Amino acid sequence: MKILIIEDNLRVAELIQRGLEEQGFQLEMAYDGLLGKKLALQHDFDLIITDIILPKIDGIELCKQIREQRPDIPIIILTALGTTDDKVEGFDAGADDYLVKPFEMRELLVRVRALLKRYNKTTLNTSSIVRFADLEMNVNTKIVKRRDTLIDLTPKEFSLLEYMMRNPERVLSKTEIAEQVWGTHFDTGTNFMNVYINYLRNKIDKGFDTKLIHTKSGMGFILREEL
């Protein structure tokens, strides 16, 4: 497995490099966002780890630009910024996971392995067209529509909706969604999940008589047809 590290703090970069190489990963290093983007788009990587505060191109913009051309590479953001708004911004830019500094190397390793496993499983086992009721998703083209209405989703909204559409008519707990969509160490104690569910409701259900996304109080969320 080959991983790209984009981090301008040499001490942190060397710590990550040493820890991952000890586990058998191949590493490529970039110390600014511009070089990171160039490497990410010119070479094949299994995963990217990037800081947010970077010279030349910041990590949020970098994530967006990589996602436009390489949507299937898992990305972990490392940053000292840990508020809910900061995390939402990172996930909306296309990040798959978000690790706040300072962090332990073993926690990063767990998240790296979880993301690689999830992406490999998704690549092997998912069909390209997913449908539920009058909602349709193409996981290759990233096009989502309800009836004839096109729906514009952020990368994380897309991932959340895809998981719900592949598990319809079943109550999905916050813990399950956290593990499958955000990674095993997502903090379900925050209002993060409700924020994204509300985003989806506004885009999927608003303006339609039949609602598809529902909350089961104290249990989780379910995708089903209900007036």
| Tens-digit pLDDT profile for residues 124-182 | 455 688 889 899 999 888 899 998 899 999 988 998 999 999 889 899 988 888 888 87
- CA-to-CA distance for 108 and 102, rounded, in angstroms? 11
pLDDT for res 184: 56
Mark out the alpha helices in the chain (DSSP H runs). Answer: 10-21, 33-42, 59-69, 84-92, 105-125, 155-165, 174-177, 192-204
pTM: 0.64
How far apart are alpha carbons 26 and 42 in whole angstroms?
Answer: 16
Residues of the chain with CATH 1.10.10.10: 127-226
Please state, in angstroms and rounded to a whole number, the distance separating the CA atoms of residues 69 and 167. 28
* Fold (topology level) of 2-124: Rossmann fold (3.40.50)
Separation of alpha carbons 131 and 121, rounded Å: 20
| Cα-based angle 170, 87, 50 (whole degrees, multiple of 5) | 115
52-64 pLDDT, tens digit per residue, is 999 999 999 999 9
pLDDT tens per residue across span 8-51: 999 999 999 999 999 889 999 999 999 999 999 988 899 999 99
Cis amide prior to 102 (ω within 30 degrees)? yes
CATH T-level fold of 127-226: Arc Repressor Mutant, subunit A (1.10.10)
d(C-alpha 208, C-alpha 194), whole Å:
21
Angle at CA 61, nearest 5°, toward 59 and 66? 90
Distances (CA, A) of 204 to 15, 108, 152: 43, 34, 10
**Could you tell me if 27 and 55 are in contact, meaning their C-beta atoms sit under 8 angstroms apart?**
no
Q: Where in the chain is the domain with CATH 3.40.50.2300?
A: 2-124
pLDDT at 187: 55
Please, is 135 exposed, middle or buried when counting C-beta atoms within 10 Å of its C-beta (0-12, 13-18, 19+)? Answer: buried
End-to-end CA distance of the chain: 48
Q: What is the mean pLDDT of residues 202-208?
A: 93
